[in-house]
Structure 1
């Protein structure tokens, strides 16, 4: 097993990689000068950039402005990221555009609180990058005039994003507020594999050792986990096998609920609203089938087939169990969390058929993968240039630049015409691929304003196993996948109170039912409590939002 690098070693490696890439970026200046002359998608004849008189911004091509400008931005810095102001892509993009962005990159753990304090105080930046704005944030700060409407700017200064809206009408439906304004730009993803965000994987070597097939029903899955538990699958003479595990987000519920016909409109965190078989809106956490699913999970917990630490463990603890060869099955976007030595032991599990014949996989998000990724505030002195600056990352060339970096420095072209990361990123002995990429780009961790194209995604999302899982699960994903709706200010205020109480209660009781702390004899009492909390009002608010979505 490869020795884990210490924090100091990782920090040293990170600094060396950053210094080398920043220094080496000078060697790419001529390449990028040529790139700067290339158009983004949908921009014609970039070599002859046109001046837009009213703004002083070149309507097409690079540089964006003739005279250098500076824009202040704030955002959530993922733990995988190096300092944003030192990143290769932003330094080189500044040369291309004549736009220098000064980032206030706040650690993600405390970012939202700091951002909201800044917004409330009136001391906020000109734009938010990796903004992590919720639909409630957009409506709240948009209605106050703090976030400016982007509609006209998109129309005039964002040819790439405008083309996407024309090609994918559902994107506009998912980001437009009830007042008709667009207050933020999203992360978009053309790939099915990462949008099926947590797939179920199973240890094929263990299955072969027992002579078992990949399970296809929830009953078969239970019997397989039981077999993993009762046999010394890793051959170490200890009863230390963990049949199923995950991190504290507890992905087994959204990963299994489709087997009971629940979650028919896709995955949205902390939302328990979908449509039943007749297209009627329902709060499915009170449905009898939801009770059956919890009873199934309670059996897994009682018999030790589910990791007892799953409700509290962080991702590093989860990953450690995978890399130690202790795990029979787990939920994750791809297998690389199991480490390079073991990840090929795992194969995808199909959408498991439930007791009523349902076999839907509902842990899937829409093409608009993350809303609220970028916004411009009323403090912005250069909104036109800011819109042109961000629009590049919705083009094919911009997607490649953000994901891959600079040819010869962070990636290289292969003889067959494909591209791949340089070896010190792909096979770094001390940093994972995401950590190494996070030294030159912000894409690791997601929630970035961009269009993700499969041909430029060289992560675990495009592993053969991930593509196989997407192909396997794709036919069983919901036909109708809702976005995160934007509500009116009045609706949102009421919804904040309702969902805070109802979702908190649901998830507290969920844990109690599964662990046996609460008897299922109390189910009717549980349902009555939720009804008294105002679930009918909650459904009415969602119903109004859905009708607006259909009309947009």
Structure 2
């Protein structure tokens, strides 16, 4: 059995009632005694649509086997979570735990107030040595996981890899550039001229005007244009706020945002921008990227291999450094922290909270971390003399696709430290991400807001404001880019509507929180 932190489980059978006690032995060994009934945990996990079936992932099966339990997941696509979450927590079939994809604080606050979830502090102290070790070594992780001032209700994914702070990059078909004898674009005007050439000069040589010069997915942060508009001096951090020169800017109300919309409208009207940016799913996006005859000229993605496949990503596409806009701006966004909060919670319906925390503690076990992040040994990686190597993925799959099909890492709690990554002797995913990161690093937004929950609780008061603003801004953006409304004619009225929806109060709150965050230190500010 592998060398990992172990537990003793004492099972007492009395009048057909099974009582389970837990403690950590000094030798850190596990003793499993006969159980009259198996421990079965039922949980919900929210994942991206390109994550594989978690119930069939060997990495989870190993942990369950070692602990002598069974975990059954109800896997829900992130796109369906808004509809599902209300049903889940209001029904009589509340799960034992909820996992996945940075659960919003407003949801967490509702779960706490309705007594749907339990605090984890005592459970961590008694049954989770790996989580304890992380909190002791990195106290700011514990601080950021603390809610309402003194309680921990959720667990994070802590990531020391700076490259993972970047949600996406801009990629372009270098083969088409070479075919048309075009230079790599460096400005928004040059990019526009390249897209025109992609549209009109048949770079895929099939005799049809089937090329999609530029595409993205507006509703998905890993594939949208929130950073692309940095060429116009504004970057949306997902909260509609950008810190610039120590002040919070409400991005959708700034002139730079207006200029970005006008630029995107021009691309859309000239059919240089995918007509389905507001409606396409990730599956449809990937289908276009992997079309038998290449049809996509430029696109935005976390990893090009996900969209166009491994071979095409290597042979035909390259990353485009952030473009320079008409006023010399050249910016790109970066996430605010090295960890995703609210990745795991235990509900009040859970009859085995001790075993549940012992199970999830294994996600923080350094010896298991490579498999949690990348997939099981023998499936996606192999271990030779203490070092890990990526196995070649199946034909037609990229390394990142293969890893995502065999690991739920984006939806899991856990950690990826520099020490863990140093165990990988060859990691093609990391190699190219480091290359992209280095290309973009000079242009990252320098100032940001921390994510400590003790500050975010104040933001909950503004959650209604944010929802109203989001709904209105998204509708106007869609209509402006599609040419249904005129942003020039609407701008004054639009500004007045933003004021009526309390955009100023929303912006001021973030500015106050930014000033408070300065006192937390560099580890909370990225």
* TM-score category (smaller protein): 0.7 to 0.9
Counterpart Cα distance in 2 of 1:91 and 1:305: 47
Residue 352 (1) aligns with residue 294 (2): no
Question: Is the Cα contact below 8 Å between 2:57 and 2:407 reproduced in 1?
Answer: yes
Q: Which moved more, 1:189-198 or 1:287-296?
A: 189-198
Shift of 1:292: 1.4
2:338 to 363, 367, 381: 367
Residues 249/148 of structure 1: CA separation in 2 closer, same or farther (3 Å cut): same
SS at match of 1:254: coil
Task: Tell whether 2:237 aligns with 1:273.
Answer: no
- TM-score (norm. length: structure 2): 0.82
Measured after TM superposition, the shift of residue 246 of structure 1 is 1.9
Give the SS at the match of 1:471. Answer: helix
Deviations along 1:141-172, one digit per CA (max 9) or x if unpaired, are 12343322223433454343344345545534
Asked if the contact 1:334/1:461 (under 8 Å) is kept, the reply is no
Match of residue 27 from structure 1: none
The Cα offsets for residues 292-316 of structure 1, whole Å up to 9 and x where unpaired, read as 1112212222222211222212223
CA distance in 1, matches of 2:201, 2:319: 22
Which piece of structure 1 moves more, 333-342 or 56-65? Answer: 56-65
**1:158 matched to 2:128:** yes
1:240 aligns with 2:207: no
Distance 2:46 2:263 in 1: 39
- Corresponding residue number in structure 1 for 2:297: 328
Tell me whether 116-125 or 57-66 shows the greater mean CA deviation: 57-66
Q: Is the 8 A contact 1:62 1:97 kept in 2?
A: no
Is the 8 Å Cα contact of residues 244 and 328 (structure 1) preserved in structure 2?
A: yes
CA contact under 8 A between 2:9 and 2:31: conserved in structure 1?
A: no
Partner of 1:442: 408
Q: Distance in 1 between matches of 2:332 and 2:455?
A: 31
Find the partner of 1:255 among 227, 233, 242. 227
Among 22, 37, 45, the alignment partner of 1:56 is: 22
Rate the CA distance shift 1:463–1:346 in 2: closer, same or farther, 3 A. Answer: farther
Do the aligned residues in 1 keep the contact of 2:98 with 2:344 (CA within 8 Å)?
A: yes
C-alpha deviation, 1:477, in angstroms: 1.9
Residue 383 of structure 1 corresponds to: 353
CA contact (8 A) 1:89 1:401 kept: yes
* Unmatched tracts of structure 2, length 5 or more: 11-19, 521-526
Secondary structure (helix, strand or coil) at the match of 1:396 reads coil
Map 1:82-161; keep pairs closer than 5 Å.
84-106=54-76, 110-111=80-81, 113-121=83-91, 123-130=93-100, 133-161=103-131
State the TM-score, normalizing by the size of structure 1: 0.79
Q: CA deviation at 1:355?
A: 2.7
Q: Which runs of 5+ in 1 are unaligned?
A: 1-32, 41-45
SS across alignment from 2:367: helix
Q: CA deviation at 1:329?
A: 0.8
Is 1:451 aligned to 2:418, yes or no? no
1:524 and 2:492 aligned: yes
Q: Which has the higher strand share?
A: 2
State the number of aligned residues. Answer: 497
Distance 1:300 1:289, change over 3 A: same
Shift in alpha-carbon separation, 1:67–1:185, aligned structure 2, 3 A: farther
CA contact (8 A) 1:58 1:65 kept: no
Q: Which residue number corresponds to residue 171 of structure 2?
A: 201
Q: CA RMSD, aligned part only? A: 3.6
Deviations, residues 482-524 of structure 1 (Å, cap 9, x unaligned): 3556478995664232122211111111122222222212211
CA shift for structure 1 position 96? 1.7
- Given the superposition, is the C-alpha separation of residues 243 and 485 from structure 1 closer, same or farther in structure 2, using an over 3 Å criterion? farther
Q: Is the 8 A contact 1:202 1:346 kept in 2?
A: yes
Structure 1 match to 2:249: 282
CA deviation digits over 1:405-424, x for unaligned, max 9?
55446643468954223x5x
Match 1:73 to one of 35, 39, 42? 42
CA–CA distance in 2 between the matches of 1:147 and 1:101? 19
Asked if structure 2 preserves the Cα contact closer than 8 Å seen for 1:254 and 1:363, the reply is no
Which residue of structure 2 aligns with residue 542 of structure 1?
510
Distance (Å, rounded) in 1 between the aligned partners of 2:31 and 2:403: 26
Aligned residues of 2:23 and 2:127 also touching (Cα < 8 A) = no
Distance 2:79 2:336 in 1: 23
Q: Tell me the distance in 2 between the aligned counterparts of 1:64 and 1:140.
A: 39
Q: Which stretch of structure 1 is more off in the superposition, 515-524 or 475-484?
A: 475-484
Is the Cα–Cα contact under 8 Å of residues 241 and 250 in structure 2 kept in the other structure? yes
Q: Distance in 2 between matches of 1:245 and 1:311?
A: 10
Q: For structure 1, which segment, 484-493 or 55-64, has the greater mean C-alpha deviation from structure 2 after superposition?
A: 484-493
The CA deviation at 1:404 is 4.8
C-alpha distance in structure 1 between counterparts of 2:426 and 2:258, whole Å: 38
In the alignment, what sits opposite 2:265?
A: 298
Q: CA deviation at 1:290?
A: 1.2
CA distance in 1: counterparts of 2:456 and 2:212, whole angstroms: 46
| Aligned-pair CA distance for 1:427 | 1.4
Q: Is the 8 A contact 2:247 2:511 kept in 1?
A: no
Is the partner of 2:411 in helix, strand or coil? coil
